[in-house]
């Protein structure tokens, strides 16, 4: 398929996706369907899909172990194995869940990036290598965690939906 045909098909699909709600709202008077039911249904399906994918990922077998953690594995009783090591290299399900929660909500691996630099003489120093793009992505995802709280206040949602879709002006 050539580029022009691809663009024409994409334009047609976009036009149809815009025209369906417009016709549904103006001609069929289905404001409640397109303004309330479909957006909430989309959010519910999205979060159900994310939860399903995370559960499938958590259940998948690991064919071989890749040591990708930076903490000491639990081994001998006299070797310190504190809370940080339990989160970095978990040995039980609760610690795995804790590590997953911290990774999902706090982006732990994003801030563990380091850059090696040569100091004076033969010394090597390690410095954080966080780039502006990484901070921006973490900020955007952090703000997205606040959006459900803003949008789920029941009286506000009903008032906004009623004002947007049921007004007579």
3-class SS letters over 69-124: CCCCCCCCCCCCCCHHHHHHCCCCHHHHHHHHHHHHHHCHHHHHCEEEEECCCCCE
Q: Does the residue 56 lie in any domain?
A: yes
Does the pLDDT at position 169 exceed 60?
A: no
Least confident range of 40-44, 45-49, 109-113, 158-162: 158-162
Q: Does the residue 167 lie in any domain?
A: no
Does the pLDDT at position 57 exceed 70?
A: yes
What is the domain range of residue 26? 1-61
Residue 161's pLDDT band, with cuts at 50, 70 and 90, is: low
Q: Does the residue 132 lie in any domain?
A: no
User: Per the confidence metrics, is the pTM higher than 0.85?
Assistant: no
Residue 43's pLDDT band, with cuts at 50, 70 and 90, is: very high
Q: Does the residue 73 lie in any domain?
A: no
Give the chain's domain count: 1
Q: Does the residue 96 lie in any domain?
A: no
The average pLDDT across 4-10 equals 92
């Amino acid at each position: 398929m050539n580029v022009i045909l691809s663009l024409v098909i994409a334009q047609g699909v976009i036009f149809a996706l815009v025209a369906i709600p417009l016709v549904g709202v103006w001609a069929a008077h289905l404001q409640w369907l397109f303004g309330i039911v479909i957006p909430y249904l989309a959010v519910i399906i999205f979060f159900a899909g994310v939860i399903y994918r995370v559960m499938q990922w958590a259940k998948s077998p690991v064919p071989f172990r890749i040591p990708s953690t930076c903490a000491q594995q639990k081994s001998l009783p006299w070797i310190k194995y504190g809370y940080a090591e339990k989160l970095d290299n978990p040995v039980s399900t609760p610690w795995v869940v804790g590590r997953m929660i911290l990774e999902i909500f706090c982006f732990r691996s994003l801030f563990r990036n380091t850059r090696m630099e040569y100091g004076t003489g033969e010394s090597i120093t390690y410095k954080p290598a966080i780039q502006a793009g990484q901070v921006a992505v973490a900020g955007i995802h952090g703000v997205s965690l606040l959006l459900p709280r803003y949008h789920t206040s029941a009286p506000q949602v009903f008032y906004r939906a009623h004002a947007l879709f049921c007004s007579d002006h």
